[in-house]
Structure formats: structure tokens, C-alpha cells
Structure 1
Amino acid sequence: MPPMSPPALGVIANPVSARDIRRVVAHAGNLQISERVNILIRVLQAARAAGVERALLMPDRAGIHALLERHLRRGDTQLPCIELLDMEPTSTVEDTFTATRLLQRAGVAAIVVLGGDGTHRAVVRELVASAAAAASLPIAGLSTGTNNAFPEMREPTITGLAAGLYATGRLDAGEALVRNKLIEVSILNGRRTPRRDIAIVDAVVTRDRTVGARALWKPQSLAAAYFAFAEPEAIGLSSIGGLLEPVGRHERGGLSVQLATDARHALLHLNAPIAPGLVCPVAVASWERMVAGEPLAVGVEAGSVALDGERELTFAPGDRVTMTLREDAFHTLDVKRCMAAAARDGLLRTRLSTP
């Protein structure tokens, strides 16, 4: 991808990630606005050191921009020029959708995302709506959410350096980017327009027919789970798949798990860490690998679908629900490989002149 002149980096920082009910029931901590701003500053300082001159930032009403402005008034010269996107924040997920669209139009080289699985899903959902954008515009994720199966736990400075090196054209896309999978959810009813959505980690079917508090943390109502990837060291619902049959985030295939309503129909009970500090027994009936492009029909008559841990869709008797694994759906920045290339090629070295 040719770099912009001057190079531009997009930033979407969710000010309210990690504030759902799982933080209460599982005794997990809350990331305060001041710490989110500190993370953002470290990302931007590192990106500037790598050559990024402009950063386009999603505005918010919760205090990230206000605290960043206070920091800028102190005269920090180590940051790129920061421009707010021209949008009116609503303090809902619509802010992330709108910001992603605006960053695409602005032609940024990459988007750094600060948030949890839900924030990253919202960005990806907008990207895959435009096939061209999904093929060319990568995201670099930083974990500031609750379960965080998708974004990596990494020092923001390193992510900022990698994103900056890529945005300035010093890293080739073939080496810097990696392709990712997702689960496509389709709900069909002959009387209504089909509903479709995506999950970038897991789509979990529950027997609850209401969205409720949205965040899913009780295993009793779970009916089935479909995983784009499932790692055994993960926290959250994806740990169910990861502890049954691990599937790497970049290997082919996914995993489908059917859950039992009672002990009579269970093949085994699995103690899974479904939220921070919350390890619960889950009754497993069966599981099988998913093949990309092959829809799997959901056998539950009515209920809801949680996308990456949050209930988003409901379905009723007569609806046909299918889950389809899509491979090579969007790109992320491979920070580890970027930094290895930077070391190999001396991208962060400055040769001193000899006297």
C-alpha cells in the first residue's frame, strides 16, 4: 500500500469498554479514562517516532479527548498532529461504526483500536461491508476490554511503533499483515429481510429470547457455540472451545460445540474460565471442526445469539439460523513480525557520521 503524504494513522479508542456486568460478577478491574489516555499517548508517541505525522482520532464524550487536549496544552512535541474526525459522538457503538467509515474515506494506512472484543468486532463489521477496504485496511488491536480474546495484551509503545512503520511504508504488506477468520451469522425468515452479522471470535447461541444485559456470563442457557478460533489460554466463552479442541486464530477451519441442557445429554463437563475470576462447569454434548464456506444450521427453535460475548440478535420459531466460517476475511497488523523485520532491516537505527 503506498503511504499517504504525510502518513496518517487512524485511532478508535473506546472510552467505555470493560464496563459490562462481567466486571461486577467476576471481581475484575476497571480501566479508568486517565489510563486509556496514557495508553493512547504511548501509542501516538511511538508512531511519531516511527515517522507518522498525522493521526485521525474518534471523538468522544467520556473524557478521552478532553484529557488528551489537556496533555497537548502542556506542549508535548513528541506526538503527531492530531485531528478529530468530523462526527458528533453518541456514546454508543454507532460512534465506532461512523469513525471506521470516516477513516476509510480519509485513506488512513491502518487503524489502531483500543477496546475489547466488541469494539474490534464493530470496526471489522464496517470493514467487511466494503470488500475493498477489508482487503487493504488493517487494524492493530490493543486490549482495554473485559475478556479480550481477540486483541493482544501488548505494551502500546510496541504496537505504536509497528503501526507507524507500516503506515510510513517501511514495512511491506506481505510481511506486516496477517489474514483473519470470522463467523457469519444469518437469520432467515420468508416474511422478513434476512438478518446478518459477524463475530470475530465466537458466536454463541442461548435459549434466552431477550437480549437483557447483553453481556453473556451465565452458562446455564448456552445451547451451542461456533468459534473462528479458540485458544486454551483464552478468557471468555472461547475458552470452551480452546479447552476442548484448540484452533489457532490463523490456522484453517473453526470449531462448533453443542452444549447439553442437563447431565443426561452431556458427554462431559468442562470447567471453563468464561470471565475474569469466573470458572464454571459447562455441559458439553459434542463438538466438530468447521470448514470454511459450509453453513451449519442451528438446531435451537428460538433464542438469541451472542456475538463475541454480547447478545445482539434474537430469533423466533420459524427462523432459520446458520453459522458460516469465513477465512481471509480481514487483515490485522502482525506486531511481532513487524518488529522482527524492523530489527532485521535496521528500520529504527540512525547511523552516526564518523569524525
Structure 2
Amino acid sequence: MFRHHQGIFQKKKKRKRRGKKSEWIAKERKEMATVGFVINPMSGKDVRRIVSSATTIDNQEKANIAERAAYTLRSFGEEHKIVLMPDGYDLADRVLNRFTHHGLENCELCDMKIDENHGDTTKFVKKLREEGCGLFIVMGGDGTSRAAAKEIGDVPLIPISTGTNNVYPQHTEGTVVGLAAAAILGGWVKPEDACERSKRIEVYINGEFVDIALIDAVISSHLYVGSKAIWEIESMNAVFAAQAHPASIGFSALAGAVDVVLPEDDKGLFIGLTAEKKEYLASIAAGRIESFGLTEKEIVPVGGSIKRVMDMEGIVAVDGERERRFHKGDTLELKLTRNGPMKVNVNKTVALAQKAGMFKVR
């Protein structure tokens, strides 16, 4: 009654698939597309992991997730090229060796110089986008997704959470990620139907564009950029959130305790903070609830901004990481736009693929 299914670890002959694919596949998609994999070996290892009881996803499990995504993608009969971003921990090398060992062909490491920081992700995404990459799978935290977002343009992005206090990437099973990737690259679902354009916060200092955030930008009096991850609520002066929900973990939860802002809402929320009042409670880290008070609250529409002449020295932390220092007298502007990545709605994409016939045996 049931036929034995050939294992995904074996080489398989290509099968002709007869489903009714969208006309887009014939008109616009290349016969074989490229998938870019970013597997951040450092995600989930910052100070926020140390000071909280957050779940840990080690590098072995990251490799397992990537393998499941790749095997599933290839199970739908098309040998899309897989390109991995190199890293200083040789995690991508180990993943590539496992791909090769299990018979996955047309896989390679990107030929690029690495500096072992978020800039590697940005360079990798820029290089592959310019070479015509069809989709990126990015494994890491909010910061890793932000680094990819700087150069991703209109290429579909599937972010997978393997970091700390993540809001933008989701905890998605690698198999399901592979299904969504196969649906888009195989022409079963159009990218515009699979993706939702993300919001982003653009940071300007004295009129110069300096950085972006996908979830939140925090104004802090903490001056030390080098320690990167920020977690001390006492040093925070304000939060500007593109997304805010009380069920989130991290600094966007501060805004979420005041109001809810969903990804599809064409607005953001700016709040001024004070430790002198105890008006709200928020989960700023796993298992850690902090109280805070408000000095101001402003709803900011997409296209709008918050502009302040700073009366102190400090830093702007984007998506939880200290990145940009400002000085007293500088003009700081935080602008909300819809210039973020084309983020794949994984469940929606897989459901659309089912309606298109992707899961019928041919």
C-alpha cells in the first residue's frame, strides 16, 4: 500500500514534476538558482546568555538545522547551488563536508576574506546578491539578520533563530525551511506572494546615514561600544521599536509593555525611559523581568522619524548591540521605513505550495 521512500542521504535521479507551476517559473526564474547559507557560529554566545537563563543552541545543532534544510530542498528534484559563508570557527567547512559525505553535490564555500564579525555577513550577502542569488537562509540572532539586511535588496530571506532574545528570526524547523525554499526556488510560489516587506529603523547622526535596526534602536548613556551586547536597563534613555509585543524577549518588550506594534502595522513606537518610576514590567531577558517608567511616548508612522539634539554622550544600540557612538550636541535621527528585507512567511509559503501541487508525487 505504501511505497518505500528513498532516503534523502542517497543520490537520486532527477524526476520530472508535472504540477501546475506558476507562469513565473518559465518567464523569470533561472533553471537552477543559488541559495546562500549564513550560519553564525557566535550567535547565542553574548553577555545576555550569561546573565539570563536563555535556551542554548550550540554549533552542532546549527549544523543539523542547516543539513535538514538543505536535504529537504534537494528532495524536490532540483540541484540548486548551495553556497556557505565561511567563518573563523570552520563551522561552514564542517557543514560542507557533511553535505559532501551524504551525496549533496553543487555545494561550496564562498571565496571571500573574513574578519570574524557581522561585516562578513554583509559582504557575503552583497557578493551573492550581485551574482544573482535567489534566496538567503540566515541562521543567527537579530544582529545577524540585521547584517544581512544591509545588502540583501529584494532577495527573499528566511531568518532562523539561533541567537539570544530574538524577535526578527523565528525558531523554525530546518525541514520546513527547506520546504519553503523549494517552493520559491522551484517556482511553485512567487516571491511576492511568499514574502512580506519588513520595516527597518534608519539611524542618522548629524544627517549622515550610519546604521539600521530591524526591531529596535536603544539610546543609552553607556559609552563602551566594544562590549557590544547591551543589557543594563539603568543606562537606557529611550527605545524606538519597529515591532513591540509583551511576549517578546529583549528591549522591544519595553515598548511592548506599553503598546503592541505588529510587523504588518505601518507604525513604530518611541518611548522615553526612567528608572525613577515603576510603571511597567517587561521581560528584557529570558527569566528576567524589570520595572521602568515613562518620560514620553510617541507613535511614529512609516516614513516618520524621531529627531533629537543630544544633551549627553552615549551610544545607539541597534537590535541589542552597541554600534554607534554620538556626542553631546549631535543631532540624532531615527527614521522608520519599509526598506527592510523581503522576509519569507514560511508557513504561508508552504501552504501556497500545497495548493499549487508541490507535494503530489509525480
Give yes or no for TM over 0.5.
yes
Q: Distance in 2 between matches of 1:259 and 1:65?
A: 41
Q: Is the contact between residue 44 and residue 80 of structure 1 (CA under 8 Å) also seen in structure 2?
A: no
Cα offset for 1:4? 2.4
SS of the aligned residue for 1:35 comes to: helix
Output the amino acid matched with 2:296: S
Q: Distance in 2 between matches of 1:122 and 1:166?
A: 23
Tell me what 1:130 maps to.
none
Tell me what 2:293 maps to.
283
SS of the aligned residue for 1:256 comes to: strand
SS of the aligned residue for 1:171 comes to: coil
Tell me what 2:336 maps to.
325
Q: Is the contact between residue 4 and residue 168 of structure 1 (CA under 8 Å) also seen in structure 2?
A: no
Task: Work out which of the residue numbers 65, 75, 90 in structure 1 matches 2:115.
Answer: 90
Tell me what 1:316 maps to.
327
Task: Work out which of the residue numbers 111, 115, 121 in structure 1 matches 2:140.
Answer: 115
Tell me what 2:355 maps to.
344
Instruction: Give % identity.
Output: 31
Cα offset for 1:245? 0.5
Please tell me whether residue 226 in structure 1 is matched to residue 226 in structure 2: no
Q: Distance in 2 between matches of 1:53 and 1:212?
A: 39
Q: Distance in 1 between matches of 2:269 and 2:339?
A: 16
For residues 68-87 of structure 1, the aligned pairs below 5 Å read 68-72=95-99, 74=101, 76-77=102-103, 79=104, 81-87=106-112
* Structure 2: segments with no counterpart, 5+ residues: 1-23
The 4+ residue runs of structure 1 with deviation greater than 6 A are none
* Structure 1: segments with no counterpart, 5+ residues: 128-133
Tell me what 1:37 maps to.
63
For residues 155-194 of structure 1, the aligned pairs below 5 Å read 155-188=173-206, 194=208
RMSD: 1.8
SS of the aligned residue for 1:305 comes to: strand
Query: Is the alpha carbon distance of 1:219 and 1:348 closer, same or farther for their aligned partners in structure 2, counting shifts above 3 Å?
Result: same
Q: Is the contact between residue 96 and residue 109 of structure 2 (CA under 8 Å) also seen in structure 1?
A: no
Q: Is the contact between residue 53 and residue 80 of structure 1 (CA under 8 Å) also seen in structure 2?
A: no
Cα offset for 1:168? 2.2
Q: Is the contact between residue 149 and residue 340 of structure 2 (CA under 8 Å) also seen in structure 1?
A: no
Q: Distance in 1 between matches of 2:176 and 2:163?
A: 19
Please tell me whether residue 53 in structure 1 is matched to residue 67 in structure 2: no
SS of the aligned residue for 1:42 comes to: helix
Query: Is the alpha carbon distance of 1:22 and 1:200 closer, same or farther for their aligned partners in structure 2, counting shifts above 3 Å?
Result: same
Q: Is the contact between residue 309 and residue 330 of structure 2 (CA under 8 Å) also seen in structure 1?
A: no
Aligned residues: 334
Q: Deviations over 1:95-140 (max 9, x none)?
A: 111101111122111111001000000000123xxxxxx2x31211
SS of the aligned residue for 1:244 comes to: coil
For residues 138-157 of structure 1, the aligned pairs below 5 Å read 138-157=156-175
TM-score (norm 1): 0.89
Q: Is the contact between residue 295 and residue 325 of structure 1 (CA under 8 Å) also seen in structure 2?
A: yes
Please tell me whether residue 7 in structure 1 is matched to residue 33 in structure 2: yes
Query: Is the alpha carbon distance of 1:93 and 1:317 closer, same or farther for their aligned partners in structure 2, counting shifts above 3 Å?
Result: same
